Structure 1
């Protein structure tokens, strides 16, 4: 990463001299800590909103503001990353997230609390884009999927640990202590991120730098990718986001106890966390389609079969299959974005890519809600399964036979 993002881009690192271990702490450490910080506050946000006088629907909307903040700031995040570089964008994201969490704790009104949650979402957009852009530059194409899958997996681990640390803090010091855990987590992520090593530039001395690229130019030059693989990515995100509601809703439909529903959800999540590195290795060695298509086929089939489950055991099997399918797809969206991003103007491309992903993640649960209200829960789950199979078809059609092409 050069100090001037609009100058030359670094050359790909030689695979023979590269080691993931060498960059593990500065590259993956911030993801663990940032995920821990966000995971600590997410279960507490609706409870705090209720304490501040919000209705149940308003509390749900406040939670949605985090996702909305990320969605609306993907393009601005690309501008920040292009101007400041990846390392300082990561630092700024941690500081902004901490400021948003502090606003949630130090103010006593619902509006400032909601604004703080929106700020957390904004920081999420900047952080996610900057970390993806950094690893895309730092890691050779031969290791790209493993690096990005590990990045996503480590973030999930942090978000898994965060609520447990927050629960202990809340038990000892009260509900606002969860935000204290969150602030420590994201500030620690910023501190570790500040130690990211700069990447060497491949631009020969004495040669003119390439002309500055614009967002419009990126959209024009890569519109075919956005309209083909990008559409598949949008569907993948919609299915992934919907699965988080599908499992607990169907468990409730079967009259299973909330504790049992949580157990099923947790076991499915545990399966996901075990698979992120093997998934990346398969993508690197065999190609992206070897993971993308099976991932969506498995999730789609499991969702189509879920309405036929009748109790704990059968629902656990379906939920575990969904977890397996999602787990083997860990890092898929980031890897596909990295594969197709141009070296010059990469942050702009990834900003649009993440925008497509977040649109899918926002629309998926909304579509499920409409279908449940208008048709039935079983019908909504079946349509979501059909979307997964459609994503498999599109990705199988448009992903090159061998991913990881160097650009």
Structure 2
């Protein structure tokens, strides 16, 4: 399969099931287990702090696996990469089900993150090659959107099975979902680059790509790191401030859920705007809205106003759906694309890991309002960096 000679003839929905189906299924699997991982940890004798550490192993596994994932994808291709990731994720789920001590359980959680790194990189690389550049942002925002839909639906499916089969039921839901994702990936066509440039030149290394594209990594890449830090922090900020206000867990969950719902509703229009008006038309407003909302949050004193700010955060994050993947695809070279995307995802995951850590550190050292406000300033800094360095053009021709 190669890119259509005439991009105007390409229909994104013609590849909807093979392109987005695996991501939806993988998202359902992750969504089913994320709420129960800390419960499983505590059930094995972990403290609350230890349970939080076990949960963080997913992010750590993804972070350290991005570069190896890029090498795997470059060597074996996107299709085999996704199938291998599904198999590894299935092994990880079974490890979690049958683990009888915290060490084996933690190893299973770490493997879930590693498998997600391989899967997500292969998915992004596949769409970058399969979709014409003029529709790239819509493809990437849809990819991010269906993953979020899966993460949203997964806990409900998991809750139903847990009610019938106990806590291990969530991991069995995830095992079935990732197996189905691998089965869909099995039917994907192998991609062949449209101009043969990938196979004709020497295969670049990670080090050579870092050197050749250092300006991109040190400019737009820093902006992406800041975007990821703000995005990951937002998941913690709303529950923390709701607890600070003394809201009930039910009210906190409702506010958090509504924020996630509006997040899911705007991903495709955002991608269309990026394709029609350029990446900067979404990148800057997304970060400005999130930064401003986070700066407002310490001033919030009630549930209704917190809900409004939560909706603003969800909208800002939603219109940025697929932004990181789209920019990575835009700047990635044809020769060495997988390795470039591995570096790109490593930077994004590094930001995602540092965001909550910065918030926690500032909260401990100063106050929670100060930590939240600092996170808001990171959002405005991300808007400034991307606004300065991202070109004001439409789609990349790569």
Residue deviations 1:10-65 (CA, integer Å, cap 9, x gap)? 66753122111111100000000000011111111111111111111111111000
The answer as to whether partners of 1:372 and 1:380 remain within 8 angstroms in 2 is yes
Alignment map for 1:31-180 (pairs within 5 Å): 31-180=23-172
> In the aligned structure 1, how far is the partner of 2:243 from the partner of 2:104?
34
Q: Identify unmatched segments of 5+ residues in structure 2.
A: none
Counterpart residue number, 1:289: 280
- For the pair 1:388 / 2:379, whether they are aligned, the reply is yes
Counterpart residue number, 2:309: 318
Residue deviations 1:306-353 (CA, integer Å, cap 9, x gap)? 111110111111111111100110100000000000011000000000
Match of 1:236 among 211, 227, 231: 227
- For residue 403 of structure 1, report the CA deviation from its aligned partner: 3.9
- For residue 107 of structure 1, report the CA deviation from its aligned partner: 2.3
Q: Secondary structure of 2:180's match?
A: helix
Match of 1:304 among 270, 295, 310: 295
Distance 1:171 1:212, change over 3 A: same
The answer as to whether partners of 2:285 and 2:316 remain within 8 angstroms in 1 is yes
- For residue 209 of structure 1, report the CA deviation from its aligned partner: 1.7
Residue deviations 1:278-331 (CA, integer Å, cap 9, x gap)? 000000000000000000001111111111111011111111111110011010
- For residue 201 of structure 1, report the CA deviation from its aligned partner: 3.7
Counterpart residue number, 2:355: 364
The count of residues paired between Structure 1 and Structure 2 equals 398
Counterpart residue number, 1:24: 16
Q: Secondary structure of 2:350's match?
A: helix
Match of 1:328 among 319, 340, 343: 319
> In the aligned structure 2, how far is the partner of 1:200 from the partner of 1:67?
32
Distance 1:201 1:321, change over 3 A: closer
Alignment map for 1:187-198 (pairs within 5 Å): 187-198=179-190
Counterpart residue number, 2:202: 211
The answer as to whether partners of 1:100 and 1:120 remain within 8 angstroms in 2 is yes
> In the aligned structure 2, how far is the partner of 1:208 from the partner of 1:40?
40
Distance 1:319 1:90, change over 3 A: same
The answer as to whether partners of 2:230 and 2:355 remain within 8 angstroms in 1 is yes
Q: Secondary structure of 1:73's match?
A: helix
The answer as to whether partners of 1:13 and 1:138 remain within 8 angstroms in 2 is no
The answer as to whether partners of 2:3 and 2:131 remain within 8 angstroms in 1 is no
Q: Secondary structure of 2:200's match?
A: coil
Q: Identify unmatched segments of 5+ residues in structure 1.
A: 2-9
Using structure 2 for the length normalisation, give the TM-score: 0.98
> In the aligned structure 1, how far is the partner of 2:84 from the partner of 2:199?
30
Distance 1:213 1:357, change over 3 A: same
> In the aligned structure 1, how far is the partner of 2:92 from the partner of 2:192?
34
Q: What CA RMSD, in Å, does the superposition of the two structures yield over aligned residues?
A: 1.4
> In the aligned structure 2, how far is the partner of 1:107 from the partner of 1:322?
38
The answer as to whether partners of 1:33 and 1:158 remain within 8 angstroms in 2 is yes
Distance 1:178 1:204, change over 3 A: closer
Using structure 1 for the length normalisation, give the TM-score: 0.96
Counterpart residue number, 2:178: 186
Moved over 4 A (4+): 10-13
Residue deviations 1:90-140 (CA, integer Å, cap 9, x gap)? 010011001011011112111111000000000010011000000000000
